[in-house]
């Protein structure tokens, strides 16, 4: 508490010297990443709130943190003894902190931001909101940089190549695909700022961000040659030669601004204002600026045949690891003290036994009883819960394999479920099946599908505060655009689904202090057929692991829903059995028996 107070005093002193009435600190980095390297975790360092999403606002009299419902419980706990006031975002991804500032600052006030951490569109939106109150926005403020004395350095881990047998498409082909869009966009170059797009385009991977196999860089794609702005020490001599052979020239990471200033004098450069930082955009001459979506974002969302084959393989590996974890858990919970952290560690060790395993796709969410109601809960010793042979466990985890990325959530009970628990669980299951089993017309968007997941819960006057599904990368970010399933009729959820998209299906329900329920599988969009009424799509469930049946209220399920669950479990057993030993097969057969 005293440390944070002293820090705020120092920050406010520097704000005063720069003529600032308020300072906004986001969660992002210069690449608009959801998860960032420790070097850019400024908001977390300042406030003490460690969730992946949130915004800090500091004025001369107030310090506040805004975050959405996924982190309400976590934020309340982490900021309990903090000088930072917790503000609940009523609608995720909305700038409610700006509305608060408009009501708190006098006309003519000045707000400071670091333009390197905000996209062009974010800054334009802020300026529009602030203009009626004559509030100025300074966009090149560096207050925190001078306060953070022990700031972590930028990561220096080596970059490695993803083999063609996993990628399914060469680096040269991907660069050519991007360049094929240039004539239509009337541009000479495309600037790629997002780290997963860079990694996908060049068939390269790194370890600069925990759980996301990406590396810090910028990429400028051109028709005759491309430029990769990166720490050269991360690239081996052999990889350097391969890149040069594919006409990719290596430049220093910090040279991006000067290079763009020079290149844009003669060449037109396209960038996406939604994901390109204001600072980077300012380096490009306005007369040669072209706005457009980053072509690779959509290209990588449509998984190719090799990637899909790899994902199927990853699901088998994941299924085997989870089988061993739950068999171990069912036995040990009755005889030993097992805490939530140990469950996460044990699962990681079982995954590590699988070939082609690289690491976790995110830190496992192991929530026992009330902790399961914290949507993005992160168990830590000594405060984490110890499991007992009663209550509900929510386990949300994923693995990174060279052949694919996984993300799965299962909810299990160690004792006889109550009527209320069975009702809640079955309503979530009905929503999951409704999405998994749906048939929809070409052009259908994520916000239209979201209703299917919530219908059964809504009938009980219940709901959940997060989206229903997010895109998933191929040995890349576990949260990947451009598609999603959520109630928002804009942004990612407004994008039509297309065959090859790989998405999560994860409705949930949470009773604070009691339990959390979430059932998550990953699904692949497939074409089902066409008629005179159009083309129709559906989802193929890719995740292979049984769904708990102990908490089902059978009277709530329709015959169609029972048939889907039995068919899914039949497929799970058939797919996993060849990779299991005799004891594991017996356990799996029991879990997959028809209901």
Q: What per-residue confidence (pLDDT) applies to 144? A: 86
Q: What per-residue confidence (pLDDT) applies to 73? A: 81
Mean pLDDT, range 559-564, rounded to an integer: 98
Mean pLDDT, range 254-278, rounded to an integer: 97
Instruction: Work out the pLDDT band at 93, boundaries 50, 70, 90.
Output: low
2-147: CATH homologous superfamily?
A: Creatinase/prolidase N-terminal domain (3.40.350.10)
Mean pLDDT, range 30-37, rounded to an integer: 95
Instruction: Work out the pLDDT band at 20, boundaries 50, 70, 90.
Output: very high
Most confident of 84-88, 140-144, 280-284: 280-284
DSSP state of 219: E
Mean pLDDT, range 304-326, rounded to an integer: 98
Q: What's domain 305-582's architecture? A: Alpha-Beta Complex (3.90)
Distance CA 592, CA 589 (A): 5
Say yes or no: do domains 2-147 and 160-299 share a fold.
yes
Name the class of domain 160-299.
Answer: alpha beta
* Ramachandran class of 101: left when φ > 0, alpha when ψ lies in -120 to 50, beta otherwise: alpha
pLDDT tens by residue, 247-259? 999 999 999 999 9
Q: What is the DSSP string of 446-499?
A: HHHHHHHHHHHHHHTT---SS-SEEE--SSS-SSEEEEEESS-SSGGGGSBP-T
Radius of gyration of the chain from its Cα atoms, rounded to whole angstroms: 25
Give yes or no for residue 94 having a pLDDT over 80: no
pLDDT tens by residue, 191-245? 999 999 999 999 999 999 999 999 999 999 999 999 999 999 999 999 999 999 9
pLDDT tens by residue, 59-74? 999 999 999 887 888 8
Q: Where are the domains of the chain?
A: 2-147, 160-299, 305-582
Distance CA 579, CA 572 (A): 12
Q: What per-residue confidence (pLDDT) applies to 145? A: 83
Whole-structure pTM value: 0.94
Q: What is the DSSP string of 523-565?
A: EEEEEEEEETTEEEEEEEE---SPPP-TT--GGG--HHHHHHH
Q: What per-residue confidence (pLDDT) applies to 488? A: 85
Report which of 50, 53, 62 is spatially closest to residue 26, judged by C-alpha positions.
53
Give yes or no for residue 133 having a pLDDT over 70: yes
Q: What per-residue confidence (pLDDT) applies to 4? A: 86
The rounded mean pLDDT for the chain is: 95
Return the percentage of the chain with pLDDT > 70, whole number: 99
Q: What per-residue confidence (pLDDT) applies to 74? A: 85
Mean pLDDT, range 414-420, rounded to an integer: 95
Q: E-assigned strands of 48-91?
A: 55-59, 63-67, 85-88
Give yes or no for residue 361 having a pLDDT over 90: yes
Return the percentage of the chain with pLDDT > 90, whole number: 91
Q: What per-residue confidence (pLDDT) applies to 72? A: 86
Q: What per-residue confidence (pLDDT) applies to 314? A: 98
DSSP state of 140: B
Q: What per-residue confidence (pLDDT) applies to 92? A: 64
Q: What per-residue confidence (pLDDT) applies to 341? A: 97
Distance CA 372, CA 130 (A): 39
């Amino acid at each position: 508490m005293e440390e944070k107070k002293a820090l705020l005093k120092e920050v406010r002193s520097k704000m005063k010297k720069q003529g600032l009435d308020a300072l906004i600190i986001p969660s992002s980095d210069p690449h608009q990443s959801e998860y960032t390297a420790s070097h850019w975790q400024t908001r977390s360092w300042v406030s003490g709130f460690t969730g992946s999403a949130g915004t800090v606002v500091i004025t001369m009299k107030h310090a506040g943190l805004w975050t959405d419902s996924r982190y309400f419980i976590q934020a309340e706990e982490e900021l309990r003894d903090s000088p930072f006031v917790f503000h609940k975002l009523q609608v995720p991804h909305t700038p409610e902190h700006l509305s608060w500032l408009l009501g708190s600052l006098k006309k003519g006030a000045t707000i400071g931001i670091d333009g390197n951490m905000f996209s062009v569109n974010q800054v334009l939106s802020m300026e529009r909101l602030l203009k009626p109150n004559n509030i100025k926005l300074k966009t090149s403020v560096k207050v925190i940089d001078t306060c953070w004395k022990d700031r972590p350095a930028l990561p220096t881990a080596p970059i490695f190549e993803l083999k063609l047998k996993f990628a399914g498409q060469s680096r040269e082909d991907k660069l050519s695909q991007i360049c094929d869009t240039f004539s239509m966009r009337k541009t000479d170059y495309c600037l790629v700022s997002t780290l997963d797009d860079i990694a996908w385009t060049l068939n390269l991977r790194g370890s600069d961000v925990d759980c996301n196999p990406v590396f810090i860089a910028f990429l400028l794609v051109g028709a005759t040659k491309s430029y990769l702005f990166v720490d050269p020490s991360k690239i081996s001599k052999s990889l350097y030669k391969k890149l040069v052979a594919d006409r990719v020239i290596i430049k220093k990471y910090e040279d991006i601004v000067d290079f763009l200033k020079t290149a844009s004098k003669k060449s037109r450069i396209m960038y996406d204002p939604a994901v390109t930082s204001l600072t980077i955009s300012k380096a490009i001459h306005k007369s040669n600026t072209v706005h457009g979506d980053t072509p690779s974002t959509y290209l990588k969302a449509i998984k190719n045949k090799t990637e899909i084959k790899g994902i199927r393989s990853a699901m088998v590996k994941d299924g085997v690891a989870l089988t061993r974890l739950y068999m171990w858990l069912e036995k040990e919970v009755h005889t030993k003290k097992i805490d939530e952290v140990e469950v996460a560690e044990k699962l990681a060790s079982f995954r590590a036994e699988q070939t082609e395993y690289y690491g976790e796709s995110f830190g496992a969410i192991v929530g026992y009883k009330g902790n399961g109601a914290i949507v993005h809960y992160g168990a830590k010793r000594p405060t984490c819960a110890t499991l007992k042979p009663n209550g509900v466990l929510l386990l949300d985890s994923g693995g990174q394999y060279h052949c694919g990325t996984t993300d799965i959530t299962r909810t299990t009970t160690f004792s006889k479920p109550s009527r209320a628990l069975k009702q809640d669980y079955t309503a979530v299951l009905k929503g999951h099946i409704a999405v998994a089993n749906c048939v929809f017309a070409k052009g259908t968007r994520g916000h239209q599908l979201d209703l299917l997941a919530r219908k059964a819960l809504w009938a009980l006057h219940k709901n959940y505060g997060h989206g229903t599904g997010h895109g998933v990368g191929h040995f890349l970010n576990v949260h990947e655009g451009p598609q999603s399933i959520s109630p928002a009729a804009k942004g990612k959820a407004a994008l039509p689904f297309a065959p090859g998209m790989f998405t999560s299906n994860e409705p949930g329900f949470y009773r604070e202090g009691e339990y959390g329920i979430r059932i998550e599988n990953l699904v692949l969009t497939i074409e089902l057929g066409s008629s005179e009424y159009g083309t129709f799509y559906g989802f193929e469930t890719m995740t292979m692991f049984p769904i708990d049946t102990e908490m089902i209220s059978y009277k709530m399920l329709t015959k169609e829903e029972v048939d889907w669950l039995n068919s899914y479990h039949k497929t799970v057993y058939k797919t996993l059995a060849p990779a299991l030993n005799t004891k594991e097969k017996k356990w799996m057969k029991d879990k997959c028996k028809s209901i």
